[in-house]
Chains A and B, each alone.
Chain A
Amino acid sequence: MGKRVGMEVAIAAAEAVALCNIDVAAVYPITPQSHIAEHMADIIHDGRIDAEFITVESEHSAISALAGASAAGARAYTATSSQGLMLMHEILPIVSAMRLPVCMANANRAVSGPLNIWNDHTDIMPQRDSGWICLFTENGQEAIDLSIMSFKIAEDPEVMLPCVVNIDGFQLTHMIEPLEFPSQAEVAKFLPPRKPFAQLHPDNPISMGCFAMPDTYAETVKAKEEALRGSKKVVTRVFAEWAKRFGRKYNVVETYRAKDADTLMLTMGSMGETAATAVDEMRKAGRKVGLVKLRLWRPFPVEEIKAAVAGCKTLIVMDRAISTGGAGGPVATDVKSILYGEKKRPRILNVIAGLGGRDLTVGDFVNMFDLAKKKKDEPFEFYGVRE
């Protein structure tokens, strides 16, 4: 194991990718992803890794170039955020349908308008159904570990799907944290060079990106769906291998002091740590509260979530985005729907909070837990919005 270093998380994410023997990176700058882009450029321009660096003229071209690169057999990487991710939107489902294992970091940021560069999850939610494996990180170490693991997961012959690692903008990307890097040799053993299932080369002239008529399209959707659902098995397997090699254990759904809790809160991303502090404080005061943290957002870990919330009376789902005009936050909507058929299911409250960089303190999380005391249930409610 390497020794700990103090480093900004965005830079650490780029350093982690530099360990992964990538062949092509294409990035377009956007706040708060820019430190990843800049540091990636430093690494490649200094000749520390052997990769092509394409400074594309837009995020749309970033993801398009990587589709081409990945189709040609390269290990391909990009990083983006918010509007950039929105601009990629059109191409994202094509990349997954073409079964190209492109990997991406998303520095989560609010979507315009109004323009706002700060953190929430409104950028990734519209990409939810694009067929990408979608992971969330809680701290810098996870950003490093999951960035490396994402290639292994995406390129697995059973998977062959793109993967996005979400790193909360500013609140995580710009934090300086004590971090530990695996050595280059260790990563090389864990993640050998990409062996593509098929690639564009005259030695075997294949056609990729063919279109499907009505007699085939539905079958392609089913095939992609099965591959994405099946990828959970591989995610779990890669997590287990990581734990064996590097000692840090990951689960698709993490729980914290949840075993005997009557009230649980479900979060995604960097807010998990603040929420955990709130749980500790409330536990000290004798309250039976706990935490469920979603690390894998797509494919949705149905069984693991059911198991994690099986014992609780009240489940508070915190969303950092809202399905505008819909049933509430996207996470809560999914959680509610998977529990609908269960005989014994908790009361579910949905809180929309932390939008556009609005800070949430330990006290705020205590307040959100207290919502469980309310008699009347709302389908969802905004927390901390001035009335």
Chain B
Amino acid sequence: MAKKKTEQKKWPEKWHELNPGCMVFAAGNAANYKTGSWKSQHPVWDNSKCIKCGICYIFCPEGCIQETQDGFYEANLDYCKGCGICAHECWPGAIVMREEEE
């Protein structure tokens, strides 16, 4: 079964510590790499306008927008690259992109 994502090998490895054939055993451990630092802007939701349709969720190339417990949506900014698709596609206009602060 899939191993936990936290199970990251120490790095860099010596030649005899490499997994044979460069196999990766911890499925999805790319999640250890945070792409959030790429962005120059990030989405901000105005839940008063949100109709909970999930269009932001389905169109996010990172898969980093998830439903919250109360049915609204939020982006995991550790991964959000700030592409702006969610804000552009949100037809009730509940999402705006805001510049990252220095």
- 1/0 per residue A332-373: CB within 8 Å of B? 000000000000000000000000000000000000000000
Tell me the minimal C-beta distance from A219 to chain B in angstroms: 4
Of the candidates A99, A210, A219, the one having the most CB atoms from chain B within 10 angstroms of its own CB is A219
Whether the pair A97, B21 counts as a contact (CB closer than 8 A) is yes
Q: Which of A16-24, A84-92, A177-185, A197-205 contacts B (4 or more CB under 8 A)?
A: A197-205
Whether the pair B15, A219 counts as a contact (CB closer than 8 A) is yes
Instruction: Please classify the interface of chain B as helix (H, G, I), strand (E, B), loop, or mixed, using the class held by over half of its residues.
Output: loop
Q: How many residues of B contact A (CB 8 A)?
A: 15
Complex CA–CA separation, A50 to B53 (angstroms): 52
Chain A residues lying within 8 Å of B20, measured Cβ to Cβ, are 99, 160, 197-198, 223
Taking the complex as formed, is A324 at the interface, i.e. its CB lies under 8 A from any CB of chain B?
A: no
With A203-B1, A204-B1, A205-B2 in contact, do A219 and B18 touch (Cβ < 8 Å)? Answer: yes
Whether the pair B16, A210 counts as a contact (CB closer than 8 A) is no
With A97-B22, A160-B20, A219-B15 in contact, do A207 and B1 touch (Cβ < 8 Å)? Answer: no
Taking the complex as formed, is A307 at the interface, i.e. its CB lies under 8 A from any CB of chain B?
A: no
Tell me the minimal C-beta distance from A324 to chain B in angstroms: 33
Whether the pair A207, B21 counts as a contact (CB closer than 8 A) is no
Complex CA–CA separation, A219 to B22 (angstroms): 10
- Given A198, A218, A222, which contacts B23 in the complex, CB threshold below 8 Å? A198
Of the candidates B14, B23, B25, B27, the one having the most CB atoms from chain A within 10 angstroms of its own CB is B23
Chain B residues lying within 8 Å of A212, measured Cβ to Cβ, are 22
Q: How many residues of A contact B (CB 8 A)?
A: 25
Taking the complex as formed, is B12 at the interface, i.e. its CB lies under 8 A from any CB of chain A?
A: yes
Whether the pair B24, A207 counts as a contact (CB closer than 8 A) is yes
Chain B residues lying within 8 Å of A215, measured Cβ to Cβ, are 12
Whether the pair B23, A210 counts as a contact (CB closer than 8 A) is yes
- 1/0 per residue A136-168: CB within 8 Å of B? 000000000000000000000000100000000
Taking the complex as formed, is B13 at the interface, i.e. its CB lies under 8 A from any CB of chain A?
A: yes
- Given B15, B16, B18, B24, which contacts A206 in the complex, CB threshold below 8 Å? B24
Interface residues of A in 195-238 (CB under 8 A from B): 197-198, 203-212, 215-216, 218-220, 222-223, 226
With A203-B1, A204-B1, A205-B2 in contact, do A216 and B27 touch (Cβ < 8 Å)? Answer: no
Interface residues of B in 22-41 (CB under 8 A from A): 22-25, 27
Tell me the minimal C-beta distance from B19 to chain A in angstroms: 9
Chain A's closest residue to B29 (CB) is: A207
Whether the pair B16, A216 counts as a contact (CB closer than 8 A) is no
Chain B residues lying within 8 Å of A252, measured Cβ to Cβ, are none
Chain B's closest residue to A96 (CB) is: B21
With A204-B1, A222-B15, A223-B16 in contact, do A100 and B23 touch (Cβ < 8 Å)? Answer: no
Chain B residues lying within 8 Å of A222, measured Cβ to Cβ, are 15
Interface residues of A (CB under 8 A from B): 97-100, 160, 197-198, 203-212, 215-216, 218-220, 222-223, 226
Nearest first, the 4 closest Cβ-Cβ pairs linking A and B are A99-B21, A219-B15, A222-B15, A207-B24
